[in-house]
Amino acid sequence: MAMDRKLLLLAPALALGGCVLMEPKEDPNAARLDELERRMQAIERVMQNQSLVNMTQQVAAVERQSDEMQGRVESLEHNSETTADRQRQLYADLDARIQELESSLTARNAVGVMEGGTLAPGQLPVPSGSDRDNYQAAFELLKDERYEQAGLAFEQFLVTYPDSELADNAQYWLAESHYVTQNFGRALAEFQAVIDTYPRSRKVPDALLKMGYCNYELKSWQDARGSLTRVQADYPETTAARLAGQRLKRMDEEGV
């Protein structure tokens, strides 16, 4: 009886001990499902990453195409502007050449009308023409060696168009018309007028040179050297300065 009682008391403890010591067996199906789930998630992550890469590449390709198109548009705009500028310049050049030819033709016609006649003091070669027409007509007379009429034409030009942008040139060629006819005293005064009236004219170096030549012909040696030396000092890089040096060298050789 005592033994049976002990066994009855130990039975619950042995039962509890068995529960603690025995590990439950893992369900193979559940484990396989978990593994498949992990693999599926891994594949989805890879696919998602690949999709992002593809999208990034596509976006980059679109951006490159956009940049290329923008570059082409800008190039076309630039070419269009350049072409328009060239056309405007061509039109301007053509218009200037046409005006020059028209002025020259008008001047030659005026000179032709005057062939065998004379130009009276106070008369313009082209009375109904512009300042450029009359300047060109006077210059044509000078080129044709009709110096007296050229001088009269330039004189009247200066009276009629004192504010013309061609006035300094007209004054210089007026002086030249007297110089070539060896009227050195009158030429000297007219060349001096170029310097006094138009001190910023591009004709000033040439006018100074011709003043030196006039004084040389008038045997005013000191005045000739003064003008020629001034050309060299004030306008050293000009043709006038080179010619002034040649005349000074000639004067040294002549001892004057």
- Per the structure, the count of domains in the chain is 2
Classify residue 21: in a domain, yes or no.
Answer: no
Rounded CA-CA distance 159/124 in Å is 10
In a shared domain, residues 146 and 203: no
In a shared domain, residues 155 and 195: no
pLDDT tens digits for range 146-200: 999 999 999 999 999 999 999 999 999 999 999 999 999 999 999 999 999 999 9
* Alpha helices per DSSP H over 1-27: 2-21
In a shared domain, residues 154 and 200: no
114 pLDDT above the threshold of 60: no
CATH number at 190 reads 1.25.40.10
pLDDT, position 3: 56
Range with the poorest average pLDDT among 14-28, 149-163, 194-208, 221-235 = 14-28
Range of the domain at 109: 82-164
pLDDT, position 102: 47
Classify residue 135: in a domain, yes or no.
Answer: yes
Distances (CA, A) of 97 to 59, 91, 220: 56, 10, 44
In a shared domain, residues 159 and 189: no
In a shared domain, residues 100 and 151: yes
What is the tally of helices (H) and strands (E) in the chain?
9, 0
The one-letter amino acid code at 254 reads E
Rounded CA-CA distance 11/216 in Å is 155
In a shared domain, residues 154 and 190: no
In a shared domain, residues 204 and 237: yes
Classify residue 173: in a domain, yes or no.
Answer: no
In a shared domain, residues 90 and 158: yes
101 pLDDT above the threshold of 90: no
At which of 164, 194, 229 does a domain end? 164
In a shared domain, residues 206 and 153: no
Please, which residues have CB within 8 angstroms of residue 163's CB and are 6 or more apart in sequence? none
In a shared domain, residues 112 and 153: yes
In a shared domain, residues 199 and 132: no
45 pLDDT above the threshold of 80: no
Q: What is the mean pLDDT of residues 229-255?
A: 97
Angle at 105 between CA 102 and CA 108, to 5 degrees: 150
Q: What is the mean pLDDT of residues 125-133?
A: 93
pLDDT tens digits for range 48-90: 776 666 667 777 777 888 788 778 777 777 776 777 677 677 6
The mean pLDDT value of the chain amounts to 82
CB atoms within 10 A of CB 218: 14
Rounded CA-CA distance 54/199 in Å is 77
